[in-house]
């Protein structure tokens, strides 16, 4: 395999936006399909057996000496939100290939098969739901529910995936029980802790519980100069007040890990001299504790009813997802701690406040994550950065973890 840093640079060229404003790689677009083809090329160069499921999850397997045993899995995603960086997800996918390359060059022969899994659509950009591929293969999203998903152009998942060449039955995506003996995801931290504390590696013990709420508001439009203030039913003002309530509810939570964001807020007709007649919002609310997350979510829903009621604005709410947190496998965490110690790498057991495909893998298989530092804690921006040295350390830890686990019959 070519050098991982060169591979990441080449991968970044598969983008629908100019390189000076970041990377944009949306599910099933020509850029996404070109990036997938590049992953397949590198996987086959390593002699890995490749299969692709009906939603596009891609598996590249280094067959072990005892291939009937449950495999050791690693991987992440390569889709990228508009104008994002080069490293989110991609380090875990190409780092998995790089780790296998290291082990092959050492002459290592695994007992258990080692598999790199490139998940489909960890980002919610096209179909509005994050971790699409891992939700379906873990059984957290049923094929029937997946078929109802549509993109902003009104195209349904089934028609779009088939047009992209993924024509199998969605019912076949679910992984069998005991498919993986363990699953490890390498990822950039997307936060500032490792860099601030000058640590090499983070080892994830828990992944936050996410939820996504869609809100539609219907008011009454009119000329901005002719409708007096007491008579208004302004959907834009209702949306603005709800957005402030989102922030306040998170700030006043009993948990320091509660965070909430109004990531989408659109108004109609979006004219300076017209009262907004409608608004659309998407709200992300998450926590590492399900109790405080659910309490905040209930408070938000109550506030939406109160705000729209006092403003005489109609509303509808759709809870797109409301997922539990993931508790990572303690034996895997300890294994990686020991590996870091043997490599003389500093490490810290930590929580992931961002959620990842591992959130859903952990519902089915023993799972944890390996974090590497992110410069200034930045992610989802063009200036997202982890240094070659930091990436190399992460790959080395991953390689040794895969080596240890694939040689063992027990965690």
Say whether both 243 and 364 belong to one domain: no
pLDDT < 70 regions, the chain: 1, 411
Range of the domain at 397: 4-208+325-406
Among 322, 352, 382, residue at a domain's last position: 322
| Cα gap 91→370, rounded to integer Å | 11
Can the peptide bond before residue 269 be classed as cis, meaning omega within 30 degrees of 0?
Answer: yes
Q: What is the pLDDT of residue 261?
A: 97
Percentage of the chain lying above the pLDDT 90 cut: 96
Examine residue 411 and state whether it is found in any structural domain, yes or no.
Answer: no
Say whether both 88 and 230 belong to one domain: no
Among 289, 304, 322, residue at a domain's last position: 322
Say whether both 28 and 85 belong to one domain: yes
Q: What is the pLDDT of residue 411?
A: 66
Q: Which residue stretches of 46-110 are H helix?
A: 90-106
Structural domain count of the chain: 2
Among 303, 322, 341, residue at a domain's last position: 322
Q: What is the pLDDT of residue 19?
A: 85
Taking CB atoms within 8 Å and a gap of at least 24, the contacts of 148-153 are 151/126, 151/127, 152/126
What pTM did the predictor assign?
Answer: 0.91
Say whether both 19 and 147 belong to one domain: yes
Neighbouring CB atoms inside 10 A of 172's CB total 11
Neighbouring CB atoms inside 10 A of 226's CB total 9
Give the DSSP letter of residue 229. Answer: G
pLDDT digits (tens, 9 = 90+) for 323-361: 999 999 999 999 999 999 999 999 999 999 998 999 999
Give the CATH number for residue 261: 3.30.70.360
């Amino acid at each position: 395999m070519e050098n991982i840093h060169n591979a990441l640079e080449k991968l970044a060229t598969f983008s629908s936006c100019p390189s000076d404003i970041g990377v944009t790689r949306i599910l099933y677009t020509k850029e996404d399909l070109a990036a997938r083809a590049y992953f397949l090329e590198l996987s086959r160069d390593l002699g890995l057996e490749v299969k692709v499921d009906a939603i596009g999850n891609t598996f590249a397997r280094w067959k072990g000496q005892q291939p009937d045993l449950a495999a050791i899995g690693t991987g992440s995603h390569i889709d990228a939100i508009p104008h994002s960086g080069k490293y989110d997800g991609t380090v875990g996918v190409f780092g998995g290939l790089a780790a296998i390359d290291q082990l092959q060059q050492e002459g290592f022969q695994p007992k258990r098969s080692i598999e790199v899994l490139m998940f489909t659509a960890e980002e919610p950009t096209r179909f509005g739901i994050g971790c699409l591929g891992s939700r379906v293969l873990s059984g957290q999203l049923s094929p029937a529910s997946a078929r109802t998903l549509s993109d902003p152009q009104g195209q349904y998942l089934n028609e779009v995936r088939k047009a992209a060449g993924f024509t199998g039955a969605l019912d076949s995506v679910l992984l069998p029980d005991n498919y993986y003996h363990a699953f490890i995801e390498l990822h950039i931290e997307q936060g500032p802790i490792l860099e601030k504390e000058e640590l090499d590696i983070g080892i994830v013990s828990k992944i936050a519980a996410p939820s996504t709420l869609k809100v539609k508001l219907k008011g009454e439009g009119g000329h901005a100069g002719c409708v007096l203030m007491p008579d208004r039913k302004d959907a834009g003002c209702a949306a603005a007040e709800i957005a402030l309530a989102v922030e306040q509810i998170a700030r006043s939570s009993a948990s320091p890990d509660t965070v909430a964001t109004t990531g989408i807020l659109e108004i109609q007709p979006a004219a300076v001299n017209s009262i907004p007649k409608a608004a659309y919002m998407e709200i992300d609310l998450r926590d590492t504790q399900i109790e405080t997350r659910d309490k905040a979510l209930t408070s938000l829903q109550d506030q939406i009813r109160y705000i729209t009621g006092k403003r005489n604005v109609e509303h509808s709410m759709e809870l797109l997802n409301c997922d539990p947190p993931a508790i990572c496998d303690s034996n895997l965490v300890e294994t990686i701690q020991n590996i870091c110690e043997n490599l003389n790498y500093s490490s810290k057991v930590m929580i992931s406040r961002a959620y990842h495909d591992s959130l859903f893998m952990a519902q089915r298989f023993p799972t944890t994550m390996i974090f590497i530092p992110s410069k200034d804690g930045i992610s989802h921006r063009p200036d997202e950065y982890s240094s070659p040295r930091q990436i190399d350390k992460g790959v080395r830890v991953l390689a040794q973890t895969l080596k240890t686990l694939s040689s063992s019959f027990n965690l």
